[in-house]
Structure 1
Amino acid sequence: MTSPLRRRVSSAGFWSMSQFGAQLALRMISNMILTRLLLPEAFGLMAVVGVLTVALALFSDLGIGQNVIVHKRGGEPLFLNTAFTVQVIRGFVIWTLAIVAALIIAMLAPLGVFAADTVYMDPRLPAVLVAGSFGVVLQGFESTRIHEARRNLQLRRLTEMEFGVQMVALVATVGLTWVWPSIWSLVLGSLASALARTVASHIVLPGQRNRIGWDTSAWWDIFGFGRWIFLSSLIGVLFTTGDRLLLGGLVDANTMGLYAIAGLLLSVFQMAVNTLSSSVVFPALSELARGDLGAFRKAYFPFQGGIDALLGLAAGGLYVTAPLIVSILYDPRYAESGQMLAILSVGLIGMRFCVVEQCYMARNRMKYYLASNMARLIVLAIGLPVGHMLGGVQGALWGIVAAQFAGWPIAVLFKLRYGLVDWRFELLPLPAIGLGLLLGEGVVLLAPSIGLS
């Protein structure tokens, strides 16, 4: 990496982690307040609504943001306006599909298609799905300035914007829940957040102003890259959302709510890694891939080493401290979420090749990305229901964990083919995991002495 790029990477890393820290603090404050105002079933219902909306979004994913970052035309106004237009159309398409899905659920529920006492039998689900999914329409109008900021590794203003949006979401959701403790307060809070982010993206961030426009060559450039994102997403959506979709049909709303809380806590660590990968690693590697491939290879190894250390420490520490964390943050009704979180934490190790997946996109080798998602889906589709059949909820959780490792063989094949293997880095997760376990044990032992147990 050249010195200017190294400085931009360092700055982007600082601001992306600042954004993550602020977002984490606000999310945890909001969550701790809301769990004291609402029953677990409300979070279980919103978890299914969220996953259905995300599923529909991924089914129509063209990787517009990644396209702007990777493509040589990613800074041209005509290209950006075409991307913006596609984004707006996509938002309305997703909402239409969500309405159709809500109608199908409403028609099938009285026929006994879904198991009794599951989330899909809740009479509120169709209406909540229609209202909650309108957020994707609002998101469709977000400015492409968000993608420009990431492409150029200029994240300070973006971080400030995201913090403001999170504050709006916190105040709106908590305020609504305080006066109206209902699932609808969560729905309206999420819509307020989506509206605030869209408006801020046009006002706060520098860059090209967006308007509806169309350029056929730009569209084909977007589609040429996006078709692989689309195909990968058709598979990846089932993996990304399949845990909650499958569990929603196997367990009651209360258990689903407990799983949602465990998933929320796990997502703190997943978000940290994904934030670094998407906001720092991917733009930097994409810039290098457009020029010096030798520098691209050299830059990969320190990125991989840093992610390995972070994931190893997090997985080891969380495996030991998960029950303690839940007992501190939530009341006894959510205690079971701690055991769930401990199991799910093992899956963090399976995320270590997320850096390699950024290389797939940076080098436009999307077939590898598709193969990885296919492998994960197959393992999840078999492992979760079989695990539930053999070991109940805990067995299902281990099936979810196993799916996180399914993409490893594809990643190793890519690394071997493109000269990204260095054995000094391959075993780095092991000492990191060990250190995480030791630190976690230390926290658990010290907790009673400082009144945290």
Structure 2
Amino acid sequence: MKRSPSNSGKRPAADPDRVFVSAFDATQASGQAARGGAMIIAANLLGFVVTITSTAILARLLTPAAFGMIAMTATMTTLLMMFADAGLTQATIQRREITYGQLSALFWINLAVGAGLATLCFLVAPWLAWLYDEPGLTDVTRTLAANFLLLGAAVQFTAVINRQLRFKITALIALMAPIAGALAALLLAWWGAGVWALVAQLVVTEIVRLVASISLAGWFPGLPTRAKGVGSMLRFGGNQLLFNVIIYLVHNADRVLIGAYLGPYLLGLYDRSAQMIRLPVRLIIFPLNPVMLPTLSRLQDQPDEYRRVYVGAISKITMVSYPATIAMALLAPEIVYILLGPQWDEAAPIFALLAVSSLTNPISRSLTWLWISQGRVREQLHWGILITSTIVPAFAVGLAWGANGVAAAAALTLVCMHPIEIGMATRKGPVAWRAVTDALVPGAIGAAVMAAVILGLRQSGLVPANPFVAIVPLSACAAISLIATYGLLPSARRPLLEAADTLAMWIGLRRAPSPPA
């Protein structure tokens, strides 16, 4: 099979059998992943700040009805959006070798899927308007249907960028797109465009993401053609898509049951608590996917480096996520009062229980890196079926105790099933069950010490009654105890030093090491 060097600025030769080669230095894999993760997380955090700030301004320029119309369309578009990728991003990233012909074939398949979803959304729009008794929703939904076509066109360009480990480009696009969308929305809202300002925000964001990806990918698809090996990639993508659908159902089954049997009031308490709990994962873990998946996929033939990169990543993640999650659970009354107000005090126990259930979330998300990078998506699907058949009945049983019961069912099921999930993910491949559990120890010890400090302060009677005042000494003492614990713990010092070293390189205080000659 012919090979071609990876080129970031030239269009590839037309030969469909030519292998698309991505330059990769395995000796620098850990450092690349750390720096890339830091860049993409920072870009996503800045993008989140842009979104929150623009939303706050738009809320003063537009009526609640405008936001309500977008929320109405989201009931359908969010579900359909899962199918636009068709699991083919991961198929492109994971494959050891991929030809230009295969990339082109996948591009046209993604484009066809996007066009099909856009057509479906366009045709269903009048029915959605009828369902909500909102005639103006037809034109809004039909305009937003264009996003499916834009997303379908962008999938393979984004996958190529990720496959080449071009993390700066990924971070740049992650920041540029929401900024462009926000500026378009603010300008149109200022001109009195109403709901169309929000529509423009969503469409412009996808247009900028597509144009930037095409311009920076260094690849362009050829004409539609049959290519060998595409069938196996479609099966890979199909299994990944089915898993995504199953997890989507798991994440929404609790809300459906609470809304149907307990009513909107308790659903509001539960949903708002869940949204706050999941925010850190969305801002930190999700952005790591375009870093860890391609990095581990390129290391399939180097088990020692593969294991070192993965274990190092989850050790650092849990040293942050475990203490943060336990702190959210123990400080739930103060957090809910400060962020939502006194009228939401009934949400505090729900928030605390959901925080416990989210304890497993970062590692569960990271285990998908193992399954996908090793091409074991069928086994991942088996896990998805197992957890669905376990947790949905648990939700139903928990309904007898209200929203608190559902949250407790989620926490109990996810925590108890977590060792099984780790065992299934590490049954094959270079990462063993013991390597994963050993990596979790520093974070678990830090979280335990911090929890003891918070509980001790509460029992001492020294904590002020005012939540705004109480949160300060509780947080400060928790942070000090955590830092002291990590400083004294030998297994925690190395990840901390590596994280500090990465930060120093990222902000320019130290140069990254040059690859060996």
Which category of TM-score, normalised to the shorter sequence, fits these structures? 0.7 to 0.9
Q: 1:337 deviation in Å?
A: 6.7
1:39, distance to aligned residue in structure 2 (A):
7.9
2:313 maps to 303
* Structure 1 equivalent of residue 469 of structure 2: 448
Structure 2 residue 96 is the aligned partner of structure 1 residue 72 = yes
The alignment status of 1:279 with 2:290, answered yes or no, reads yes
Instruction: Check 1:391–1:244 CA distance in 2 against 1; reply closer, same or farther (3 A cut).
Output: same
Q: What whole-Å deviation, never above 9, does each CA across 1:279-300 have from its counterpart, x for those lacking one?
A: 22222211111x1224323433
Q: Which residue of 2 aligns with 1:89?
A: 112
Q: Match of 1:382?
A: 393
Gap change, CA 1:20 and 1:234, over 3 Å in 2: closer
Q: 1:130 to 1:155 in 2, by over 3 A?
A: same
- Amino acid corresponding to residue 413 of structure 1 in structure 2: M
Name the CA distance, whole Å, in 1 between partners of 2:107 and 2:292. 24
1:15 aligns with 2:39: yes
Measured at CA, do residues 42 and 12 of structure 1 come closer, stay the same or move farther in structure 2, by a change above 3 Å?
same
In structure 2, which of residues 229, 233, 239 is the aligned counterpart of residue 222 of structure 1? Answer: 233
Which residue of 2 is the match for residue 154 of structure 1?
Answer: 166
Q: Deviations over 1:152-191 (max 9, x none)?
A: 2211122122211111222334455566596654344222
Determine which of 409, 412, 424 is the counterpart of 2:438.
Answer: 424
Alignment counterpart, residue 355 of structure 2, candidates 345, 353, 375: 345
Instruction: Please show how residues 38-437 of structure 1 align to structure 2 within 5 Å.
Output: 46=70, 49-50=73-74, 52-59=76-83, 62-74=86-98, 76-99=99-122, 123=134, 127=138, 129-142=141-154, 144-176=156-188, 185-203=197-215, 205-210=216-221, 212-244=223-255, 249=260, 262-275=273-286, 277-289=288-300, 291-321=301-331, 324=334, 341-351=351-361, 352-387=363-398, 389-401=399-411, 404-405=414-415, 406=417, 408-418=419-429, 420-422=432-434, 423-434=437-448, 437=451
> 1:329 and 1:32 mapped to 2: Cα distance?
15
- Report if aligned partners of 1:58, 1:233 keep a CA contact under 8 Å in 2: yes
Structure 1 window deviating more from structure 2 (318-327 vs 21-30): it is 318-327
Q: Alpha carbons of 1:316 and 1:47: their partners in 2 closer, same or farther (altered >3 Å)?
A: farther
Q: Report the AA paired with residue 158 of structure 2.
A: I
Deviates more, 1:245-254 or 1:407-416: 245-254
Question: Cα–Cα, structure 1 residues 292 and 264, in superposed 2: closer, same or farther, change >3 Å?
Answer: same
Give the CA RMSD over aligned residues. Answer: 4.1
Cα contact 2:329–2:355 (8 A) shared by 1: yes
| Alignment check: 8 A CA contact 2:84 2:148 kept | no
For the 8 Å contact 1:317–1:437, the answer to whether it is kept is yes
CA 1:151–1:417 in structure 2 vs 1: closer, same or farther (change >3 Å)? closer
Q: Residue 84 of structure 2 contacts residue 114 of structure 2 at CA under 8 Å; is this kept in 1?
A: no
TM-score of the pair, normalised by structure 1: 0.79
The structural deviation recorded for 1:16 is 1.7
What letter is aligned with 2:166? Q
2-structure distance, mates of 1:238, 1:288: 32
SS in 2 for 1:233: helix
State the alpha-carbon separation in 2 of the partners of residues 380 and 42 from structure 1: 36
Specify the code of the residue in structure 1 equivalent to 2:469. Answer: P
AA aligned opposite 2:231:
W
**Alignment partners' CA distance in 1, 2:261 and 2:314:** 37
What CA distance in whole angstroms lies between the structure 1 residues aligned with 2:400 and 2:70? 28
The structural deviation recorded for 1:208 is 0.5
Give the gaps of 5 or more residues in structure 2.
1-24, 458-462, 474-517
Q: Deviations over 1:416-437 (max 9, x none)?
A: 5555122533444422433565
- Give how far 1:349 is off: 1.0
Closer, same or farther in 2 for the Cα pair 1:99/1:242, shift >3 Å?
Answer: farther
Q: Which has the higher contact order (CA 8 A, sep 6+)?
A: 1
| Residue 116 of structure 1: aligned partner | none
Structure 1: 5+ residue stretches without partners: 110-120
Paired with 1:125 and 1:397, the residues of 2 have a C-alpha distance of 37
Quick one: structure 1 residues 273 and 21, their matched pair in 2 at CA, closer, same or farther if it must change by over 3 Å?
Answer: closer
Instruction: Write out per-residue CA displacement over residues 381-408 of structure 1, whole angstroms, 9 at most, x where no aligned residue.
Output: 3344443x32434444444555654464
Distance in 1 (CA, whole Å) between partners of 2:119 and 2:253 is: 21
Partner Cα separation in structure 1 for residue 56 and residue 125 of structure 2: 30
Q: Deviations over 1:55-87 (max 9, x none)?
A: 23335653211111111334x332222221111
SS in structure 1 of the partner of residue 285 of structure 2? helix
CA deviation after TM superposition for structure 1 residue 359, in Å: 0.6
Distance (whole Å) between structure 2 residues aligned to residue 126 and residue 392 of structure 1: 35
Whose Rg is larger?
2
1:5 corresponds to which residue?
29
- What TM-score do you get using the length of structure 2 for normalisation? 0.70
SS at match of 1:72: coil
User: Among the aligned pairs, what percent are the same residue?
Assistant: 19
